[in-house]
Structure 1
Amino acid sequence: MQIRIPPQVETILQKLNLSGYEAYIVGGCVRDSILGLTPNDWDVTTSALPEETVKIFSDYPCVETGIQHGTLTVLVDHFSVEVTTFRVDGRYSDNRHPDSVQFTRSLKDDLSRRDFTMNALAYHPEHGVIDCFDGINDLKNKIIRCVGIPDLRFQEDGLRLLRALRFSSVLEFAVERDTSISILKNRSLLDHIARERVNSEFTKLLCGNAENILREYRPVFEQFIPEISLMAGFQQDNPYHIYDVWEHTLKAVSSVEATPVLRLTMLLHDIGKPLCCTRDQSGICHFYNHEKKSAEMAKEILEELRYDGDTVCMIWKLINLHDLPIHADEKSLLRLLNKHGEKTLRFLIKVKAADIKAQNPVYIGRLEELQKAEAVLDSILDRGLCFSLKDLQLNGSDLIALNIPQGVAIGKILSLLLEAVLDGKCPNSRDQLLKYALKIKDEYDV
């Protein structure tokens, strides 16, 4: 099996080999290359001790990113590669980082400390793939399996729980039985992991084939989003729904485009429903104002998980609006564009479509109205119709020329002109707007 290695990485391997040391590419770059994927980064493992590595690459820009753990980042032609000494990790008292490491001259010892068999693969152009833990077979069979005893691997680094599920989601691999049992058993280890790290792995997981993973490993996700437990098994008893809130949520997640904002929106869009449920005399459930409650809860959850402000704001807005009617009507769409902007409206259409797809299929016909609305929206934007002040063919300077005093009056008249254009009372042409402005000036005596 041949792996194409970037020339900069070959340079690093050659220099280490010529200096008398073993060196291999290792981990994710080997896994991805075997799977036919493009590696995100390239890591090298070597028998050279850290001080020996520093000496070998003294003519190259280097960053001692983790020199105490044997890692040096070497830059060859502006291409960065992490070079790490073969090592055996000591105790992990924080369930995340080794308290100490012991350097070794054994590649197998180094590979034995890694998380999953598919990541415990090394490669050298002359020696081929070094596979000490049957990782190649697990790759062929699409299986995620811990190296050694799963409980030990997860107790060393609790984030590996989410890494396993993220790989399962993104690669569509099954989790081996003992590894799966251990993930559920050790889920409380996630309590000790920085929220930013949980956020990163969870977001990648959510943007993969997440539905079955979310369903099967719900207790794991409840560890950092406990509000999920309210949704599971909560029947909606409503003509529009045939699933409980959690199952509806799972189907909504898998029905929307795989981007972080949209997947997170669908995951959380109904999280407040169980707290807003009322039943009428017929036993039908109603969820009045659930969108506001869900948006409020989503904001708290996302902030706790350290999502950035723009992401939190957009998701809060989309959840608040997800029950807003959208019709294939030019005037109403111009109003929505004016109020929310194109980006939000585009997202909102996708959110509503995913919501409909996850409801009772009897009502799937509502998708047609959304598709028509999207076509009208495309037409509005293609024709460059006016829906904001910046689109008006007239500005404050034009109003000043009409002897309208600067200040509040200018802003008020511009807003009234935009209203007139949106209502179809005045064309968006400079001459017509000037005439209409004079009419407003006299009417409001400004």
Structure 2
Amino acid sequence: MRTPLAYRAYVGLTALAVPFAAWVVTRKLRRAGLPTHRAHEPLGHATVPREDGPLIWFHAASVGESLSVLALITRMGVALPAAHFLITSGTPTSAKLIAQRMPSRCVHQFAPIDAPGPLKRFLKHWRPDAALFVESEMWPQMLRRTRARGARMALVNARLSERSVAAWAKRPRLAAYILDVFDLILTQNDAMAQAMVRMHAPVPRVARGQNLKGFAGPLPTDADTQFEARAALGARPIWVAASTHPGEEEIVLAAHQRLRATYPDAHLILVPRHPERGQEVVQRIADTCLPFTRRTRGEAPGGAVYLADTLGELGDWFALTETVFLGGSLKPIGGHNPFEVAQSGATVLSGNHVSAFAETYAAMEAAGAARLVSGAEDLATRIAALWADDAARARAVAAAKGFAEAETGKLDTIAARLIKVLELDRD
């Protein structure tokens, strides 16, 4: 396929921008506490050796995308005992959480900048036999240069925003040139499969897959943390509001105030999506005059609200309750992953803005595993109803667990399909 002029121009511009991009990226990683040698991984400088044998590279950008493929790596590792795995991501947070849950025969590196020099160094060192890119990770040079080195390639859990689909559709030659690298494109749903075809992806290689975030497995927990929290809270009714965004904490706190009118000892564990917003959320709590304690001050749960403004402890808070509200959904953000809640043994409550997981929530609602709410009053009413009816709450929790278990059973089929298409089963 002839190289589009737009791609050539992009290559030239990125080559010129490398010094500035390198400064920005390495500075960001150093500020996050990464040692110098790791902060230079985005420039293509590997910090661990490549093991002998087949190497399968997974690239994901964010925390959610990275964690979503760990179970898939585990299943592929069982089927391919001689293979090793590399997972790349772009943020210090993702690196930290991946390190806590990484399967055997797997290493993490920060992803190379999409520019000639870093990519050449990265690919020369790692020499991947296959490369799998997650969701919307479609960096032009990363894709074309990886293909040029002979790796078989797949796009898994494909999900692009409407804006991204429209932007790619306006550049049909470039889109076709980029998407042609993939031997298989597995989308999250039928609508995204159709969008990929509109973007000029090779039709025979596009298929609907499954949302890999349903296979990530239960969140890690710490027995000591849970023991201390249970000792502090006793038999108080507890609910968790997780992954909240600006403008949502006010609604959640208003719902909690309504709940406390009926359940005076009700306790809310509030977990903002971005812990660095902790001080901002403190002000929102103070505005309500509700007594609270705060995780980053080393305090135990207490008062009416516990602000859990830390990373990596969400599994502990989910384990304390059977009632979880997921944020990113009361405002037009798209919602967050409900599978983690279901796997923890809790029923899911969410706002109506769940476009990123629309099909998942529809299926969970149909199964009785999730409920959508429209605001503070509706949220408080739903929680009060669950607390007042033990049988109804037990049915909702059982439905959530059943839904998560059914989804997990599909993972082996996906792993087998990828192994075959990427020709990883060759002797």
TM-score (norm 1): 0.22
Q: Considering only CA atoms, is the larger Rg found in Structure 1 or Structure 2?
A: 1
| Higher normalized contact order (CA 8 Å, seq sep 6+, divided by chain length) | 2
More strand as a share of residues: 2
TM-score (norm 2): 0.22
